[in-house]
Amino acid sequence: MDYSVIAQYFPKLLEGVGTTVELVLVSGLIGTLLAIPLGIARHEKNIWIRALPYAYIFFFRGTPLLVQIFLVYYGMAQFEAVRESALWPYLREPYWCAIIAFSLNTAAYSAEILRGALDSIPKGEVEAAQVLGMRKPLIYRRIKLPRAFAVMLPAYGNEIILMLKGSALASTITLLDLTGMARTIIARTYTPIEIFLSAGVIYLLLSVVIIWVFRIVEKRLNPQQSVKIA
C-alpha cells in the first residue's frame, strides 16, 4: 500500500464526491415525484390503470442499470430525431443522461415500495374515511399517502443507498463522480487498490450518513411507534 498516493489525491477524490451527492439528490427527488403516481396506479384495482406502470416497472427492475444508462446516453443519441429535438441540449449532456437513467430507475423501485406500503394500510382506516364522506383524492392525501410514507421509510432509505451505489456507473459515461475521479487518478498513478479502497471508504461514509438521516426522520415521523416499543 502506498499511502502517499492516497494523501496526494484525496482532495481530488473529494471533488468527485460533490458530483456523486448531487446525482443522488437530484435523481432521488425526481424519482420520488415519479414514483408517487406510479405507486398509486399500481395500488389501484383497475387493470387498465395498473398495466402500463407495471410494464414500466418491470422493464426498469428487470434490466441492469448499466444497460439503461447506455441506452439513454449512446442509444438515444443515435437517432436524428432525438438530436434535432428540443430536448437535445439536455440529452447531449452526460450529466442529464445520468439523471434521467437514475431517476427512471429509482422511480420504478420506489413505486413498488410505495405500492407495498399502500397495500399494507388496514382496510378499516380507509372505510372509516369513506364513512366520513371523504372522496378518493382526499383519502389518498389525508390518510393513505401519509401512512404509506411512514411505513415505507426504512425500505426507501435502503433504496437511496442502492442508488448511491448505482451512481458509480455515471463514470462510464464520462462523468467525474467519485468513481470517475478515482479511475482518472488511477490512469496517472496506476495504483488501483489504494485509490479504489479510498473511494470505497468514502462511499461507506456516505451511506452511513444516509442511514443516520433516515433514522432521524423515522423517529420524527413515527414517534408513536418508538413510544410503543419503549
Chain contacts with other proteins (rule: CB under 8 A): 58-59, 61-68, 70-71, 74-79, 83, 92, 94, 161, 164-169, 171-172, 174, 179, 182-184, 186-188, 190, 192-193, 196-197, 199-200, 203-204, 206-208
Rounded distance between C-alpha atoms, residue 167 and residue 24, angstroms: 7
Nearer to other proteins, 115 or 183 (CB): 183
Minimum distance from residue 73 beta carbon to other proteins (Å):
8
Q: Smallest gap, in angstroms, from Cβ of residue 12 to other proteins?
A: 12
For residue 157, what are the CA distances in angstroms to 32, 34, 70, 217?
12, 17, 26, 10
Q: Cell for 82?
A: 432525438
Angle between helices 145-166 and 192-221 in degrees, nearest 10: 170
**And the C-alpha cell for 160?**
437511496
Q: Give whichever of 145 and 194 is closer to other proteins, judged by the CB atom.
A: 194
CB of 51 to other proteins, least distance (A): 17
Q: Smallest gap, in angstroms, from Cβ of residue 152 to other proteins?
A: 16
Alpha helices in 44-177 (DSSP H): 47-62, 65-70, 80-83, 88-91, 94-119, 123-131, 136-139, 145-166
Closer to other proteins by Cβ: residue 101 or 143: 101
